[in-house]
Amino acid sequence: MIIPNENKVFEYFEEIIKIPRGSGNEKEISDYIANFARERNLEAVQDSENNVIVKKNAFPEYEDKAPVILQGHIDMVCVKKSGIDHDFLKDPIKAVVNGDFISADGTSLGADDGIGVAYMLALLDSEDIPHPPLECVFTADEEVGMGGAKSLDMSGLNGRRLINIDSENEGVFCVSCAGGVRVNLTIPLEWDAEKPSDFKGFDIKITGLLGGHSGSDIHLQRASAIKLMGRILNRISGETEIRIADISGGSADNAIAAFAQAEIFVNKDYHLEETLNQLKKEFNREYKSAGESIYLSMEEARPERILTTDASERIIKALVLIPYGVNTVSLEMENLVESSCNPGVVSMDGKEFLIKCAVRSSTDIRKRVQAENIKILASLVGGRTWEQGDYPSWEYNPDSRLMDFVPKLYEKMFGKNAKIESIHAGLECGVFAGKIPGIDMISFGPGLFEVHSVNERLSISSAERMWDFLKEILKNID
């Protein structure tokens, strides 16, 4: 094993990260879980969307207890460092252990939510862990709008208590979360028949940014490479004529963009390097407090074709005006981001320029307001929007028995204060609440850091503690 630990959880975690499982590519991990269950004579239902439900009978003397649903998602956000040769459709994640932390070699780790999946597999494989009847739910496509949970037939679930194992801060217990929707803005491309003879081509790159989770990290005010690229192109356009040949950036709409690239044409006498050096100083001064180290580079390029002046201007306006960051904060819960927008991916396919945005909000009204604002922006730049992956928020339940029991058990076991919170990230609990009236839910997990980024890492000691904690919950839940 790469991970030096005899705990079954880490054995299964290592197996999981060997299986490519980016959102939309979950058939192999889904089959693995279904076969795992059948090999152990456990009841397993696998649907066409790659969701899997596995049921396990109660431990002796726990037969009279009500069943408990355990839930996590099988997909991961796929992010890699610029220049890393890794194909997320077929290559396994390479784990790296450094002291107490497991990370990956140049890519995201997928501990979100691979560790939750590993916990459930270890429970299903166990013969000596006391527990009530278990219904382990492995959902697909959580990271791109919770499509798996939304399509899941939950009529066969008997549990009315659900433990979601998809949170990232040990000792912090989530009891509500934001809803969200993916909003895609597209602008039709118009190509020029000829390249201006007095223009020169350049390839501009932005690298070195921290990136991060577009929900749980959005309040940290980290730089977005996509927004910085918009500012660069806008600065150039204010000083000389600019034509765009290509733009790309970001890796997932729910990850803060850590890199961006643009191929442009400018007048051959324009001092581009001087402008980029000035902007690099401005960016690093602006984002110093956020811990960013921003790098801008340029080299000569020879694009085969360029956009018209009008198309280039409309794209630059969209990049400058597309909202990024916190929009509103809650007036009811302290330090809770209420609504935000993250333009996580930009690309061009020859026909359209695309910006993929993740819109989040604790209220449906402000979710719709943000989506409508992007729609209006699209109309102003000659584009359009379309939406996907709309999912509901999970509302706070002051009468939750799990909220009363689980944090107190943590404090008793570890002598540490537990924290109850609502989060700005999305969890599938909102979908379950809509399909199973009256369900009682709580979410927790081990210490995960900088998820949805190449710096994602899992604390080994925290994962061990939360494994012991999960077993104690199942042993003592009434």
The predicted-structure confidence for 407-442, as pLDDT tens digits, reads as follows 999 999 999 999 999 889 888 999 999 899 999 999
Percentage of the chain modeled with pLDDT above 70? 99
Q: How confident is the model at residue 4 (pLDDT cuts 50, 70, 90)?
A: low
Tokens of 366: 């402000």
- pTM, two decimals, is 0.76
Give pLDDT, residue 334.
Answer: 81
CA distances from 349 to 186, 235, 247, 260 (A): 11, 25, 10, 16
The mean pLDDT of the chain is: 95
Query: Is residue 223 very low, low, confident or very high in pLDDT (cuts 50, 70, 90)?
Result: very high
**Residue 433 to residue 154: CA distance in whole angstroms:** 11
Lowest mean pLDDT among 339-348, 364-373, 385-394: 385-394
Looking at residues 42-46, what average pLDDT do you find? 98
Q: Tell me if 477 sits within 8 A of 68, measured CB to CB.
A: yes
> Mean pLDDT over residues 246-266, rounded?
95
Question: Nearest to residue 10, comparing CAs of 472, 469, 471, 460?
Answer: 460
Summarised one tens digit per residue, pLDDT across range 442-464 is: 999 999 999 989 999 999 999 99
Q: Cβ atoms within 10 A of the Cβ of 29, count?
A: 24
- Helices 309-321/225-237 angle, 10° precision: 130
The C-alpha angle with vertex 35 and arms to 117 and 63, in degrees rounded to 5, equals 70
Residue 360: both structure tokens together: 């989040």
Exactly one of 75, 217, 313, 390 is catalytic; which is it?
75
Q: What is the pLDDT of residue 145?
A: 81
Which of 15, 26, 142, 217 is an active site residue? 142
Q: For 155-196, what is each residue's pLDDT tens digit? A: 999 999 999 999 999 999 999 999 999 999 999 999 998 888
pLDDT-derived band at 402, boundaries 50, 70, 90: very high
In 10 A of CB 60, how many CB atoms? 7
d(CA 53, CA 43) in angstroms, rounded, equals: 8
Q: Which two tokens stand for residue 325?
A: 């960051």
pLDDT of residue 285 exceeding 70, the answer is: yes
Above 80 in pLDDT, residue 3?
A: no
Q: Residue 464 catalytic?
A: no
Distance CA 46, CA 36 (A): 12
3-state secondary structure of 288: helix
133-137, 362-366, 413-417: least confidently modelled range: 362-366
Alpha helices in 137-188 (DSSP H): 147-151
What pairing do the DSSP bridges indicate for beta strands 134-139 and 68-73? parallel
Q: Is 100 helix (H, G, I), strand (E, B) or coil?
A: coil
The pLDDT value given to residue 1? 55
Domains of the chain, start order: 8-178+393-476 (3.40.630.10), 181-391 (3.30.70.360)
Cα–Cα–Cα angle for 199, 205, 209, nearest 5°? 155
pLDDT tens by residue, 76-111: 999 999 888 999 999 999 999 999 999 999 999 999
- 3-class secondary structure, 275: helix
- Give Cβ neighbours of residue 448 (< 8 Å, ≥ 6 apart): 111, 112, 115, 168, 169, 456, 457, 458, 459
* 469-473 average pLDDT score: 98
Is 166 labeled as catalytic in the residue annotation?
Answer: no
Q: Can you name the residues that pair with 199 across neighbouring β-strands?
A: 267
